[in-house]
Amino acid sequence: MSEKRQGVKASGASQKKPVSSKQNGEDVLAASSTGLIAFKKRVLERGAELYRDLPWRNTRDPYAVLVSEVMLQQTQVSRVDGRWQRWLEKFPTLQALASAPLGPVLEEWQGMGYNRRALNLKRAAEVIVSEFGGLVPQDHDELVSLPGVGPATAAGVRAFAFDEPDIYLETNVRAVFLHELFPDAQQVPDKLLRQLVGETCPEAGEVRTWYYALLDYGAYLKRTVPNPSRRAKAHTVQSAFEGSHRQKRAYLLRRVLEAPSTTEELAEDLSGAEEKAGRQALSAGDVEALLVELETEGFIVRDADFWRCAE
């Protein structure tokens, strides 16, 4: 089937009218049981047509799946493909990651953004080794107890590593439910979407296929129609990175990873980079505050007059 024909099918779905109901005193939209059966059939059909043979789908190793789910948080698939393989070459097992110094872990993560994900992934590996016998837990509550693992990441690990049913609500999944069941609605709450995701999730043995279908259909929708997930109440617009607080923290962390440095050296380097970009220079006090933030979160430590990477 051609992309053009697929686009016609996707657009046609938006003509279906969902059922209106009341929940917590607010007008919301809900799907009937009959509608959900048709919805599941359609999603599986579209998923089969649009399937993406991504490298992390060819493993059931819970650690490898956990790495992929963490990397895919707020990062495009195209950026993760290649980096996921390289990460597993450098840290092939949970034990290897848990025992690695923090510096090489953060260095390997550079360019992926949100360095806290790498820190949390290492801390999670340490917890799994020390408290779970080196085996990624299968239980949802045990998974969300790990650093950096929220409900969606836990559900992804359970679905893709263990084929266990769970409520996996992420942006592509959200896009499909909104496009198919709530074509005209605005500010649809995640509480309602989570209920529907739970109702449509199959029993163990078919969970991977179901969520792959949702992910691939959702990715297609976001390329071909106005992004349906923007109509979710939970939708937020990501702030620009350049010139942001995040960008300054990331710059300082990279510099400390390169070599231990004093506050004054780091302030001079960061201010120079900011001025070159047409922004205002920072004082040593401003940079000190950023460094203390990084220290509090476990990225770096102060060693006499120098800042260096934490262990």
DSSP 116-143: HHHHHHHHHHHHHHHHSTTS---SHHHH
**pLDDT value at residue 3:** 36
What letter would DSSP give residue 75?
Answer: S
CA-nearest of 231, 224, 232 to 190 is 232
**Residue 21 β-bridge partners:** 28
For residue 131, indicate whether it is catalytic: no
pLDDT at 31: 55
Distance of alpha carbon 228 from alpha carbon 250, whole angstroms: 31
CB 64 within 8 A of CB 99: no
Residue 149 confidence (pLDDT): 98
Confidence at residue 114, expressed as pLDDT on a 0 to 100 scale: 94
Q: Look up residue 33 and give its two tokens.
A: 């049981």
Q: Which of 3, 45, 69, 288 is catalytic?
A: 69
Q: What is the per-residue pLDDT for 160? A: 98
215 CB burial (10 A radius; 0-12, 13-18, 19+): buried
CB neighbours of 304 closer than 8 A, spacing ≥ 6? none
Return residue ranges of the chain for CATH 1.10.340.30. 61-162
d(CA 163, CA 155): 10
pLDDT in tens, the chain (311 residues): 333 333 333 333 434 444 444 443 334 445 567 789 999 999 999 999 999 999 999 999 999 999 999 999 989 999 999 999 999 999 999 999 999 999 999 999 999 999 999 999 999 999 999 999 999 999 999 999 999 999 999 999 999 999 999 999 999 999 999 999 999 999 999 999 999 999 999 998 899 999 999 999 999 999 999 999 999 999 887 778 888 999 999 999 999 999 999 999 999 999 999 999 999 999 999 999 999 999 999 999 999 999 999 98
End-to-end CA distance of the chain: 53
Q: Are strands 306-309 and 300-303 parallel, antiparallel or unpaired?
A: antiparallel
Q: Are 251 and 297 in contact (CB under 8 A)?
A: no
pLDDT of residue 18: 45
Q: How far is CA 140 from CA 3, 154, 162, 282, in A?
A: 38, 6, 11, 44
Residue located via tokens 């917890």:
127
Cα–Cα distance between 229 and 232 in angstroms, integer? 5
Q: How many CB atoms lie within 10 A of CB 301?
A: 16
184 contact partners, CB below 8 Å, separation of at least 6: 17
Ranges for all domains in the chain classified under CATH 1.10.10.10? 245-309
| 61-162 belongs to CATH 1.10.274.100 | no
Looking at domain 245-309, its CATH class is: mainly alpha
What pLDDT is attached to residue 13? 40
Nearest to 220 by CA among 1, 16, 32: 1
- Position 302 scores a pLDDT of 97
Pinpoint the alpha helices (H) of the chain: 3-13, 33-50, 62-71, 77-80, 83-90, 94-99, 102-109, 116-131, 140-144, 151-162, 171-181, 190-200, 207-224, 245-258, 263-276, 284-296
